[in-house]
Structure 1
């Protein structure tokens, strides 16, 4: 699939930024579990924090394919950075699509400039793949503040929230009637409201520099106008946004797989056994050939989904891309370790981190099993 001159320019500028500003600090960020805020500021300087924000609010409003390309390039350098940006873009997309003019004026210009950071709070301890089972409740009642008539009072717990600690605005999904699963609704919650606390920060296998926390809501009060969707239309809104989000995750999986493949090829050309580079050994050469083919297939599926989503929501294309690309990332990273032999099992080489990071792409924003369920559903007459 050919890219436009503008898409190539953005790809090349992001790749240059990753090489010059990102890759040197990845190991330290992973080891310390600290998100590289200077990298985030660099993304803002490149206008990447405004990828899904309209130009009138200071964003660059890129098409789906360009968004996919940016995610791939960032993930090839540091998946935690790509993940943080994609979740921020989920939040800006929600405000753009469902917010009022007042919401857009209040939040989008600042978010396009990088701060506040956005978070997307859907998952709960007992509601992951089945978000209709969430228990967080938003009760409408008379306001205790003199500047508004009604407000929502929110109680509940959200889990696995990327940007949970560093965010300044949260897109929240809650039931207006805790006993009615059809009342899931989308809200905008500023991070600094009273009663909102950041809970446990997860100690994860991979994606360790990503800020992943629980969020606790204890009688959090927000204006009634902070409801973004009509009552009961929250899940429909979430799924429409997450289709694009799944393409972003597929793109990130391609980026991780690409990085693992590149390291494996470089090592196979340099490492000698039996008086020749191991790439000359049939077993290694064929392994690399299969890895190369699968990475390219994953990229083509992902870019096809991006193009289709530009014309409207295509859940099947997005799910096929995410399923295949994420499973490919795990397989390619695993094989990259195998090519490196014992060295691949050490932290002296990046392939062990690629392997740890790749696994999450098969889980978040819909597991591989959920993606196959969506694909199968679309095959019915």
Structure 2
């Protein structure tokens, strides 16, 4: 299982000039990666379309084989020394291209990824070496080119949890996977640390072939029922409450933009948009928290009734657009359900309406 922790880091070097050069190295490496990502994706997509969108034709296969670390598309890009950016770029672009194909690139339902200049810098887990300082007070990270970071953990409510996790990283109980670095809107350097944690699946004795069927309804956010006991069902969430919160967010957003209309441009323009970015972050956190509540409730319901499977009704783009919250992050909700269920030993399958029981499909909440 992978978990991600956000940690503020600073370069740990007393020499101001060296610090500036090292921060510049990170920014330049991030820019070089941005160039490489977009060139690499452009190369793949041009080959795909020139091959008449046929993934299996020999022309496209040969086109893909030519995409390597030594490809000419990388020739004039100055990558950061020691970061292994080319390999990270190739891996990322191939995965994103594969997902774009899977999600409807050929039919026009999905566009290819365009990477922003602020896209986080990818770094191998093996390049992040966590150690204690000599007083065992601070946690340091030895990175490439003799750059050393210090973790700024602060005094937030998750301090003990983060310290405990980093202790286990130092003691080799958790392994570090590919992680990300970026500068936030306050110009602080943030590490998105990805950790691989081996967790034993809890012993669980389900009723054989019992299925919890899930759909994202039109009357309620989530409707669920048991296949062999259709009278056992539950509704989760309230669209009226969600819409009330969304209207509050919308009104607040409009007020912020109205205030910006009367502000002058110039040196403080970037600072004026900080409030907008902070507001967007609050919106994202609300959606994330609500999806956590829904996914947790679904898995607990499945455990309570000893379900062997959870069937998620397939959600295509056309159907998603007809749901009341058409721009809600339903795919994030699906991911949270899958992650939590698999930890408990419940199998997840995505099914069409035909594979659901008749009682489920006849329900007024999902039709």
TM range, smaller chain = under 0.3
The structure whose residues are more often helix, as a share, is: 1
> So what's the TM-score if we normalise by structure 1?
0.26
Greater radius of gyration (CA) = 2
> So what's the TM-score if we normalise by structure 2?
0.26
